[in-house]
Amino acid sequence: MFNEILKAWRGESLLNDMLRIFDRMLDDTCGMYDKVTSWLFQNQRREAAGKEVYQADRRVNSAEREIRRMLVEHLSISHRDLGPCLALMSTVKDAERIGDYCKNLFEVLELHPESLEKNQYTAEMESIAKEIGGLFDLTRKAFKESNEGDASEVIDRNRKILPRCDQVLEKLVEDKVSTREAVTYTLIARHMKRVASHLGNIASSVLLPLHQIDYPSKIQN
């Protein structure tokens, strides 16, 4: 679908402006994610942590509103680009949701201020966190360049990451851990899974038609 956006608006400054703002959104969410996961798993915490995360989240929300405004103004002038506009609107929302889930991960940190216990759960979730972190730059590149190979790689990696998040929850159900630990690990696993899923949705916009965006399962291996 993103190829249709490029074809519809190739050479127009509006597209360049929106892509620049969107890339900044992804850069902000990547920074949020890296900070929060390092604080969670490596105990690299600073007093300014919360301020940094919430400032970045406000920038992401502001960027989403700005792109949405630009799209609405464009559609008020030209009705021929409805499909590409809807696709970009959906993709921008995915980026905004990534910011929300990064903020949710930080809120877990606030509920659990002491370091997480080193055990099988933290080891597995730290490994998953690193895998998800590697998807950000690949997703940005796939979208900016409309690179189907990179987009497919994001989807393929996600097909391995998402089940690992579910397996953490399955183990917690069977294991005897404290209520506090169970809640903490469950929230972290679910929030990280949602970050990965929204990155997959953005990648899917490079590969799928409008009505299938956000459903990477439609992409064949």
- 19: Cβ–Cβ under 8 A, 6 or more apart, which residues? 144
- Residue 213, SS3 per DSSP: coil
pLDDT string in tens for the chain (221-residue length): 555 555 555 556 677 788 889 999 999 999 999 999 988 888 766 666 788 899 999 999 999 999 999 888 877 776 666 767 777 888 999 999 999 999 999 998 888 777 788 889 999 999 999 999 999 999 999 988 888 899 999 999 999 999 999 999 999 988 888 888 889 999 999 999 999 999 999 998 888 655 566 555 555 55
CA nearest 112: which of 172, 45, 162, 175? Answer: 45
Task: Compute the distance between CA of residue 52 and CA of residue 136 in angstroms, rounded to an integer.
Answer: 19
Task: Compute the distance between CA of residue 154 and CA of residue 108 in angstroms, rounded to an integer.
Answer: 26
How far, in whole angstroms, is CA 94 from its chain's centroid? 7
Output the pTM of the full model.
0.88
The conformation of residue 219, written as its DSSP 8-state character, comes to S
What does the chain come to in residues?
221
**Taking every pair of C-alpha atoms in the chain, what is the biggest distance, in angstroms?**
61
| CATH fold for the domain made of 2-218 | Methane Monooxygenase Hydroxylase; Chain G, domain 1 (1.20.58)
Quickly tell me which residue has 């916009």 as its tokens: 205
